[in-house]
């Protein structure tokens, strides 16, 4: 990725990270030109990755809750773990990283952004709740029915819809 960023932008990234770690105010230098498009593109790619996992993991929970044989339950445990740690967690981390880069590096502001940040916090909580439920399955302590998981699976759809509306329409 460094090859697509200008030298000035790479310097800004290094200095911004240094300033954030030392709690210093930003110098005011920002990435310019097409660099913001690359950051947006990566933000969107990782957001899609994260949401793919957020849509699929609860669906796996539905099937896991319905599984009656030990072999199927063990297979679901492996699938859930790989999805959570191999796709969802990196997707979440990189979505938030590139989103923060857009926010802090390009000075995005507005009430719509505050509302979107609240939705991101809710989504992170949902992600962590999925991890807790996965742990319950791993320890064979699931207490929810497949019907409950079907409803649980719909929540990220609402968050996605609201987030896209806020980011695109910027209603306030």
At 59-70, the pLDDT tens digits run 999 999 999 999
Q: Is residue 9 part of a domain?
A: no
Q: Is residue 133 part of a domain?
A: yes
Determine contact, residues 4/38, Cβ cutoff 8 Å: yes
Residue-range definition of the domain harbouring residue 82? 35-169
Q: Is residue 73 part of a domain?
A: yes
Q: Is residue 29 part of a domain?
A: no
Supply the DSSP symbol for 28.
S
Q: How many domains does the chain have?
A: 1
Q: Is residue 144 part of a domain?
A: yes
**Would you tell me how many other CB atoms lie within 10 Å of the CB of residue 27?**
10
- Angstrom distance (rounded) from CA 131 to CA 53: 12
pTM: 0.81
pLDDT for the residue 10: 58
Q: Which of 23-37, 64-78, 133-147 has the lowest mean pLDDT?
A: 23-37
pLDDT for the residue 16: 54
Of residues 58 and 9, more confidently modeled: 58
**Does 87 score more than 80 pLDDT?**
yes
- Angstrom distance (rounded) from CA 125 to CA 136: 17
- pLDDT bracket for residue 34 (50, 70, 90): confident
Q: Is residue 106 part of a domain?
A: yes
């Amino acid at each position: 990725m460094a090859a697509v960023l200008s030298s000035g932008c790479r310097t800004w990234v290094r200095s911004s990270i240094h300033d954030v770690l030392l709690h210093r105010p930003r110098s005011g230098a920002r990435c310019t030109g097409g660099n913001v498009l690359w950051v947006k593109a990566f933000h969107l790619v990782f957001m899609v990755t994260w949401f793919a996992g957020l849509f699929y993991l609860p669906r796996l929970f539905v099937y896991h809750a319905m599984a009656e044989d030990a072999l199927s339950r063990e297979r679901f445990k492996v699938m859930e773990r790989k999805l959570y740690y191999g796709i969802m967690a990196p997707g979440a981390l990189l979505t938030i990283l590139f989103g923060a880069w857009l926010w802090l590096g390009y000075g995005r502001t507005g009430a719509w952004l505050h509302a979107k940040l609240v939705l991101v916090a809710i989504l992170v909580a949902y992600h962590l709740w999925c991890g807790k439920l996965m742990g319950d399955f791993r320890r064979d302590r699931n207490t929810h029915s497949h019907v409950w998981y079907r409803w649980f699976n719909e929540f990220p759809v609402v968050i996605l819809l609201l987030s896209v509306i806020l980011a695109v329409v910027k209603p306030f």
